[in-house]
Amino acid sequence: MRLAAAIAACVLGAALAAPPARADRLIVSVSNHRVTVTPNYSGEELVLFGSVEKDGNTPPGRNAYDLVVTVSGPRMDLVTRRKERKFGIWINTDSRQFLKVPSYLAVFSNRPLEQIASPEVQRRQQVGLNNVLLTQRVGPDYADVVPEDAFRSAFVRLRKQHGLYRQETSAVTFLTPTLFRTGIPLPAEVPIGTYNVDIKLFADGVLVTRTETAFEIVKVGFEQFVANAARNNGFVYGLVTAMMALMTGWMASIVFRKD
């Protein structure tokens, strides 16, 4: 371990000493930039693929790359509550608000994160569920806390249970030393909106380059129409729904009339 750290430090020093040339470039694409939600939509799996383009500045002999892909969905405010026993019953006592955190957060890499970069680099680059910034309202302050924080870890665990947060350290596969792909599973519960895909390329424990792409999940046709009507014309929408209820009730009484 100590040897590895020493090597990493040497490499880091070398990288810092070298002129800031853009050695490698990332070229990526998502299989579908616009996921449409139709009546039979039940989630989707996208594929991200790309390649590492080397140029003259690439240190010779560099062949082993590491890749971390972070997909984050539209941001929302969520509250995590904790139950405690009081007067013999279990009630919500303490709560923590998470502000503008990703509704969907997925981290994919080609091997365990601790083998890719040091904890310090991971933290600085916000790599992994433990290091992505999740802002909490702590009293009057806004801050992220340590990953071991009870509320933070419970939050991440519960989001994981619903498939909305995930971390898979063997999801990225290198087809050739420079050509890679990974699947982005989107369960049906993921919210509508824009999803950012952040791709970070590491080599020998340091960040080489990064790039971003995005895709969106949108409602179309009937779904879009209903959602818009509910939002923009609440009164008419409510009236139509109430009328629909009465019509359904009336029709049933006709259909099932016996006498």
- Positions in the binding site for other proteins (CB under 8 A): 37-43, 74-85, 88-92, 97, 99-100, 151, 154-155, 157-159, 188-189, 191-194, 219, 222-224, 226-227, 230-231, 234-235, 237-242, 244-246, 248-253, 256, 259
What minimum distance in Å lies between the beta carbon of 68 and other proteins? 21
* Residue number, 64 or 226, with CB nearest to other proteins: 226
What minimum distance in Å lies between the beta carbon of 45 and other proteins? 15
* Residue number, 17 or 256, with CB nearest to other proteins: 256
What minimum distance in Å lies between the beta carbon of 93 and other proteins? 10
CB 59 within 8 A of CB 196: no
What minimum distance in Å lies between the beta carbon of 97 and other proteins? 7
What minimum distance in Å lies between the beta carbon of 90 and other proteins? 6
Instruction: Count Cβ atoms below 10 Å from residue 223 Cβ, excluding itself.
Output: 16
* Residue number, 2 or 257, with CB nearest to other proteins: 257
* Residue number, 3 or 246, with CB nearest to other proteins: 246
* Residue number, 174 or 237, with CB nearest to other proteins: 237
* Residue number, 176 or 253, with CB nearest to other proteins: 253
CB 49 within 8 A of CB 180: yes
What minimum distance in Å lies between the beta carbon of 43 and other proteins? 8
CA distances from 129 to 160, 167, 244 (A): 10, 7, 46
* Contacts by residues 196-199 (CB-CB < 8 Å, ≥ 24 positions apart): 196/71, 196/72, 197/28, 197/30, 197/48, 197/69, 197/70, 197/71, 198/69, 198/70, 198/71, 198/72, 199/26, 199/28, 199/48, 199/50, 199/67, 199/68, 199/69, 199/70
CA distances from 192 to 37, 43, 74, 195, 216 (A): 9, 11, 8, 9, 8
What minimum distance in Å lies between the beta carbon of 77 and other proteins? 5
Task: Render 137-163 in DSSP notation, one character per residue.
Answer: EETTEEE---TT-HHHHHHHHHHHHTT
β-bridge partners, 50? 28, 180
* Residue number, 74 or 185, with CB nearest to other proteins: 74
